[in-house]
Amino acid sequence: MPNPTAAILVIGDEILSGRTREGNAHYLAGELTRTGIDLREIRVVPDDHEGIAAAVNALRAAHDHVFTSGGIGPTHDDITADAVAAAFGVPIGVRADAHALMAAHYEARGVEFNAARMRMARIPDGASLIENPVSIAPGFTLGNVHVMAGVPNVFQAMVASVLPTLTGGQPLLSQSLRLMRPEGAVAETLGALAAAHPGVSIGSYPFSQDGAYGTNLVVRGPVAAEVDAAMRALGAAFAGAPE
């Protein structure tokens, strides 16, 4: 049975303007690989209602899971929850359980639970909450879409809440071999080895170091024996090669 597939949708003008370097997608990519969920796409879109809704609908139709990052805070530019509700065609309003969690949290800290903060208790009808142990205001899962905050430590806490609830598949295994030879010198042998090991994918990643070119070879696959066999073949092919 093939692994479940996933997409990540990152929402935020600040990433598209180059102000902020996005890191949540990279973090979640690693977690999904360990869980055996195959990440097939990452998409970054602006803070725009129609654009977010269209991307949610395209991605949830194409993948088993969609994970979103960003746009669920208390300010005017936080429009993700409304856009996801619109994508599903369901109403959204302040939900009692989310409101109660947040009221208790703010009261214990002597912080005003004002109208802006109350926006974070607005949850689309039919969603389940994603726990946020860092700052309480929850994320939510609606259908196959998991909606999480963009602040990195909150995003990571929400990922830790939601991933154990999902059914993964075979974790993708990988091994790598570092060669101090340029890609162009290993490409032909490598192509033949890749064709001879169809149960794995072999990636080739050039780098330069102190003015010399090298290549990292990465073997990936779900079956340990096949990854091992491909690695042995690479080792044998390039063992005697000048470094």
Q: Give me the residues that bind its own copies (CB under 8 A), please.
A: 10, 13-23, 25-33, 39-47, 51, 73-78, 111-112, 114-117, 119-120, 151, 153, 172, 174, 182-188, 190-191, 194-195, 201-208, 218, 220
Task: Work out how close the CB of 16 gets to its own copies at its nearest, in angstroms, rounded to a whole number.
Answer: 5
Q: Give which of 77, 37, 14 is closest to 164, Cα–Cα.
A: 37
Our CB check for its own copies shows the closer of 73 and 139 to be 73
Task: Work out how close the CB of 24 gets to its own copies at its nearest, in angstroms, rounded to a whole number.
Answer: 11
Our CB check for its own copies shows the closer of 49 and 128 to be 49
Task: Work out how close the CB of 113 gets to its own copies at its nearest, in angstroms, rounded to a whole number.
Answer: 9
Residue 158 CB partners (closer than 8 Å, separation 6+): 130, 131, 132, 139, 148, 149
Our CB check for its own copies shows the closer of 33 and 90 to be 33
Distance of CA 105 to the CA centre of its chain: 29
CA distance 95 to 91: 11
What is the CB neighbour count within 10 angstroms for residue 178?
13
Our CB check for its own copies shows the closer of 75 and 164 to be 75
